[in-house]
Amino acid sequence: MKIKITLVTIVLAFCSCDNPKEKVEENTFVEKEEQTLEVEKESVAELKEKLTNDGYQIFDYVDEKTGDTVLMQQYFIAFLKRGANRSQNKKEADSLQKLHLAHLGSMYEKGFADISGPFGDDGDIRGITIYNVPTQKMADSLANMDPMVKAGRLAIEIHPWWAAKGFSLR
């Protein structure tokens, strides 16, 4: 009897809890909406002036369907490629991976990188980082500060890339 009561209590407690995944998705959606509203608060002209003054390459066009002005900005995609020095033992590689993730987190927190991630295959291109900086030289400098790159485990190849300002992934 005691076991049945305990099981019923556990099941009821579990069922009454909010689904953490739903909370995360809801919070993420709200954050994205707030970011979109922040971008919309600033006029296209104000944003163009700020970006130009900060050294970013931009252009705009009018969307024929909506009549909205779409502002395009140049970003830089860093392809993180398999490096020449992959001789590290597991402990060294694991340590470099932690430092690599900390570096990418720092780039994101400081506003230098907007998105990073590994590829799902085991090819020579291991992942990407999209840098939100005014120049390729700056993106290259930041990418080469990565401990994995410094150790030679990864190599960097950077390309300019254009994307609409304020749009998010779906």
Confidence bin at 170 (pLDDT 50/70/90): confident
Q: What are phi and psi of 78, to 5 degrees?
A: -100, 120
Collapse the DSSP code of 20 into the 3-class scheme (helix H, G, I; strand E, B; otherwise coil) and give the result. helix
Question: Does 78 have pLDDT greater than 50?
Answer: yes
pLDDT score recorded for residue 41? 61
Find the mean pLDDT for residues 35-51: 75
The Cα 133–Cα 111 span in angstroms is 9
C-alpha distances out from residue 77 to 49, 54, 86, Å: 24, 19, 23
pLDDT score recorded for residue 6? 40
Question: Does 161 have pLDDT greater than 60?
Answer: yes
- For domain 72-164, which architecture applies? 2-Layer Sandwich (3.30)
- pTM of this prediction? 0.72
Find the mean pLDDT for residues 54-79: 95
User: Where does 110-150 have alpha helices with state H?
Assistant: 136-143, 147-150
Question: Does 60 have pLDDT greater than 60?
Answer: yes
Instruction: Record the tokens describing residue 60, joined without a space.
Output: 């705009």
Instruction: Record the tokens describing residue 81, joined without a space.
Output: 């490629």
Give the mean pLDDT of the chain. 83
Q: What share of the chain is helix, strand, coil (3-state, %, to 5)?
A: 45, 25, 30
Confidence bin at 13 (pLDDT 50/70/90): very low
- The residues that bridge with 59 in the sheet, in sequence order, are 72
> Could you give the percent of the chain with pLDDT greater than 70?
76
C-alpha distances out from residue 67 to 47, 59, 62, Å: 18, 16, 6
Task: Please name the residue that has the structure tokens 């009549």.
Answer: 67
pLDDT score recorded for residue 16? 44
* CA nearest neighbour of 156 among 110, 111, 113, 106: 113
